[in-house]
Amino acid sequence: MKKAVSVIVAALLLVTPVQASESAQTMAEENAVTGEAAAAAELAAWAALDAAPVEEAVFGMETVPVTAAGLEVEAPSAILMERETGTVIWEKNADTRLEPASVTKIMTMLLLAEAVDAGSVALTDTAVCSAYASSMGGSQVFLEENERMTLSDLLKSVAVSSGNDAAVVIAEHLCGSESAFVARMNQRAAELGMTGTTFQNCTGLPCEGEHLTTARDIALMSRALLSHTWIREYTTIWMDTIRGGEFGLSNTNKLIYYYDGATGLKTGFTQSAGYCLSASAFREDVEYIAVVLNCETSAERFESAKQLLSFAFANYTLVDAAPREPIPPITVELGAQSTVQPAAAERFPVLVTRNQASSVEISIDLLESVAAPVAEGQELGTMKVTAGETTVAQIPLLAAQNVEKLTLWQIWGRLLQGTFADVLGKKL
């Protein structure tokens, strides 16, 4: 039965979304002989709905409001965030706890990306599919028990086709079991400040218990995933194959094809979660994240996300808050060094509206002096970024190095040195 279904779905991925939806309907009717087959067919039908066609007009670049106050989207819950600074531009019921469906897999991909960058695994490593992983329903690439696949192809299967079976194989490979991986998902969520999130699985499939998150939390984990720049090599794939070209993959996120600059990120759909999407796009050196949850239709989720992204690109930009002139050193009283250099800890881009960009000014406020000892990272002042009458950022200026306090002998030595210098000066 499973092999037959896999052949059907592999073919569906290479035909139009309309045909896929109709074929899934037929498959659901034909396999409704037993309860198990009916459940599998229902999950397959959900997967087809997630990939259902949307009219191209939805992706057009229409005029957007000039102010956030005038921005309206149909999505019941949504948020718009700039990726680099984490600035939230707009939100609507962003802390309402809802089911995320397959948007869950952003965390699954994040944990894999972190493991790759930490060097604990490589994308060329091969993972083995367990009986449990092969039993996953919904969106899948129909992995067979004991089938071997590289982590790269498994990641591609998750990012492009939302493969539930591929996600579980990744989870088991990284942590030994899905339950151990889910514990790590929840731990990582807490570390990222995702206070409204509880994961029960790594796929987003319907389950017992609370599998809930918020639009704000999804934006946070989306931002974390996008910090791994190479992940876009996977999340921007429109169509590809696995198994040496034998199995086709088609991205469920239609923005990848239709929306200029789209970089990802993940769709989701179940009957109880509705249509969900975390969408990201990059243009002119700035990337935005738009999350929409619990939409009634696929068109609504894409339209809502597109409205948010287009609003951001039309009305906001990043400016570099680097000081225009070198920051002067600060005198250190009784220090082993006479001065300490204040500096911003890192580059500080600031998000401003486009009409503020030309009026951005930077002012520096420093301590006149500081008593030793001075610790590296100690705050020595503030760099204020203003746009007109508005303060858009206050960036701390920190000591670039440690400065030890003079010992008693060093103080006596300096006093004596000063005395001798005075005497010699008088004689000369």
Any idea which residues carry the catalytic annotation? 102, 105, 162
DSSP 199-219: -S-SS----SS--BB-HHHHH
> What residues form DSSP beta bridges with 291?
79, 278
Is residue 335 within 8 A of residue 405, CB to CB? The reply is: yes
End-to-end CA distance of the chain: 105
Q: How far apart are CA 341 and CA 364, in angstroms?
A: 13
**Single-letter residue type at 306:** K
Pairing of strands 360-366, 369-371: unpaired
Bridge partners (DSSP) of residue 344 are 397
Within 13 Å, how many C-alpha atoms sit on residue 141's CB side? 32
Name the helix (H) or strand (E) containing 167: helix 164-175
Distance of CA 321 to the CA centre of its chain: 23
Cβ neighbours, 10 Å, residue 396: 15
231-254: burial string, b at 16+ Cβ within 10 Å, e else: bbebbbbeebebeeeebbbbbbbb
Asked if omega into 206 is within 30° of 0 (cis), the reply is no
Q: Are 258 and 59 in contact (CB under 8 A)?
A: yes
